């Protein structure tokens, strides 16, 4: 377990800056001639000292959120909070295979382009999500009955095209998503079944060739604790690194239930960081059985604080992304029956106790 104090030593400062230097951080103005991050620029209308974004910028890390295209295009209250509070965005669905390549070789970039343009206009970085996943595949791909050779070339050209399109505009890609079962075996997906585990190394190599500067991640859920699934991922990550495969980071989705953060989370993230990998919390939410009580909202606040501290207290933590801003649009109620209230803002964009917890996780003085 790391005993790192909340004020990092000069050497850990150096380490963190070295990790982050390749990233096009929120404001171009963050980079000064020496290549070292200077103090953050203010977002118009916001006080850097009192926003999530201000705290994260001051620390040289990312605070991100998943963004849905319909909220982005139709809800100005939503975009006001998005741009005030976050220096990074992840497409909630718009960069998934079914969205971008609905027919073979036929690409629809409309929603993904909207998000990337919005991010550029508001000096936000983009996490690309996701290239190789078992879910949200178009039916032509699911039902195509392709040979291994065909599937390999379909995957390569999808990665070449998508990563190539956003080259220089996406600082990190979730190249492979949810490749494991909870018991540590490989999940039986189209990719695993037809191509074997080698698809993971190939996907990383193709993504690297398409954008050498992007940080390339394997992303998964239920890997926050030290358990069979994270052990299996750890073994794979170590093997990929030994083989020189361009793997840069591990994304810990962190879809939690209130009061149930795994006690081994920080130590577990640290063992990945000790391999030289970046670690990021990529999809944080903390669901509560509905209706949420005041005590549960208070516990949720602690959970947001602890989850973000667990990442930021580890060397090479690049940042924390929450899986949505407001309970108004969260994926939780439709996915986990009886649960909701999982995000830092309520349905009317009032900051919940969770917002304060997350702030304190980013800056202990918040």
Give me the active site residues, please: 178, 283
* Least distance CB 179 / ligand XIL (angstroms): 11
* In the complex, least distance from residue 318 CB atom to ligand XIL, rounded to whole angstroms: 17
Q: Which is nearer to ligand XIL, 69 or 346 (CB)?
A: 69
Task: Give whole-number Cα distances, 349 to 58, 82, 334, 358, in Å.
Answer: 24, 11, 20, 16
Nearer of residues 162 and 363 to ligand XIL, judged by Cβ: 162
**Sites for ligand XIL among residues 46-85 (CB under 6 A):** none
Beta pairing class for 339-340 and 278-289: antiparallel
Identify the CA nearest to 324 among candidates 284, 358, 281, 361.
284
Residue 229 beta carbon to ligand XIL: minimum distance, rounded to whole angstroms: 14
> Which one of residues 224, 283, 303, 309 is an interface residue with ligand XIL (CB under 6 A)?
283
In angstroms, give the least distance from the CB of 52 to ligand XIL: 20
Q: Which residue is nearest to ligand XIL (CB)?
A: 331
Site track for ligand XIL across 138-177, x = CB under 6 A: ---------------------------------------x
Q: Is the peptide bond before 3 cis (omega within 30 degrees of 0)?
A: no
Residues with Cβ within 8 Å of 247's Cβ and at least 6 positions away in sequence, in order, are 204, 216, 217, 218, 237, 240, 241, 277
Q: Count of residues binding ligand XIL (CB under 6 A)?
A: 6
What burial letters (b/e) apply to 85-99, b meaning 16+ CB within 10 Å? bbbbbbbbbbbbbbb
Query: Is the Cβ of residue 331 or residue 355 nearer to ligand XIL in the bound state?
Result: 331
The residue among 152 and 253 lying less far from ligand XIL, judged by its C-beta, is 253
Ranges within 323-342 binding ligand XIL (CB under 6 A): 331
Pick out residues in 230-269 that bind ligand XIL (CB under 6 A). 253
**Residue 82, Cβ neighbours under 10 Å: how many?**
22
Longest Cα separation, the chain: 57
Question: Residue 162 or 283: which CB sits closer to ligand XIL?
Answer: 283
Answer yes or no: are the C-beta atoms of 78 and 71 closer than 8 Å. Answer: yes
DSSP string, 18-74: HHHTTS--S-GGGB-TTSSB-SPPPPTTS-GGGSHHHHHHHHT-EEEEEE-HHHHHH
> In sequence order, which residues have a C-beta less than 8 Å from that of residue 54 and are 6 or more positions away?
40, 42, 46, 47, 48
Site for ligand XIL, residues 91 to 130, rule: CB under 6 A: 92-93
Of residues 211 and 283, the one with the C-beta less far from ligand XIL: 283
**β-strands 215-220, 249-252: how paired?**
parallel
Q: How far is the CB of 4 from ligand XIL (least distance, A)?
A: 29
Query: Does residue number 181 form part of the binding site for ligand XIL (CB under 6 A)?
Result: no
Closest CA to 300 of 346, 357, 350: 357
Minimum separation from the CB atom of position 128 to ligand XIL (A): 12
- Contacting positions for ligand XIL (CB under 6 A): 92-93, 177, 253, 283, 331
């Amino acid at each position: 377990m790391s005993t790192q104090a909340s004020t990092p030593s000069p050497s850990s400062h150096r380490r963190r800056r070295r990790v982050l230097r390749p990233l096009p951080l929120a404001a171009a103005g963050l980079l000064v001639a020496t290549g070292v991050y200077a103090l953050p620029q203010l977002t118009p209308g916001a006080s850097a000292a009192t926003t999530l974004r201000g705290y994260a910028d001051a620390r040289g890390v990312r605070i991100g959120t998943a963004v849905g295209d319909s909220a982005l295009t139709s809800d100005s209250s939503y975009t006001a909070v998005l741009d005030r509070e976050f220096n990074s965005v992840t497409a909630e669905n718009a960069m998934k295979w079914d969205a971008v390549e609905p027919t073979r070789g036929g690409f629809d970039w409309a929603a993904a382009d909207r998000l990337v343009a919005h991010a550029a206009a508001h000096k936000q970085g983009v996490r690309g999500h996701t290239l190789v996943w078992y879910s949200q595949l178009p039916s032509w791909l699911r039902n195509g009955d392709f040979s291994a050779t065909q599937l390999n070339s379909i995957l390569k050209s999808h990665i070449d095209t998508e990563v190539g399109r956003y080259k220089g505009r996406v600082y990190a890609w979730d190249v492979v998503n949810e490749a494991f079962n909870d018991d540590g075996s490989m999940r039986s997906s189209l990719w695993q079944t037809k191509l074997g585990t080698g698809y993971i190394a190939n996907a990383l190599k193709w993504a690297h060739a398409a954008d050498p500067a992007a940080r390339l991640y394997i992303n998964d859920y239920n890997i926050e604790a030290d358990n069979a699934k994270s052990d299996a991922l750890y073994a794979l990550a170590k093997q990929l690194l030994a083989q020189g495969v361009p793997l840069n980071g591990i994304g810990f989705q962190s879809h939690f239930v209130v009061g149930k953060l795994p006690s081994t989370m920080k130590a577990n993230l640290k063992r990945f960081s000790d391999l030289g990998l970046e670690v990021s919390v990529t999809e944080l939410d903390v669901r509560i059985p509905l209706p949420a009580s005041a005590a549960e909202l208070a516990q949720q606040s602690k959970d947001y604080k602890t989850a973000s501290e667990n990442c930021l207290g580890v060397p090479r933590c690049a940042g924390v992304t929450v899986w949505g801003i407001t309970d108004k649009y969260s994926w939780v109620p439709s996915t986990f029956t009886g649960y909701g209230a999982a995000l830092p803002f309520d349905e009317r964009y009032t900051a919940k106790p969770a917002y304060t917890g997350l702030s304190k996780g980013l800056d202990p003085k918040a």
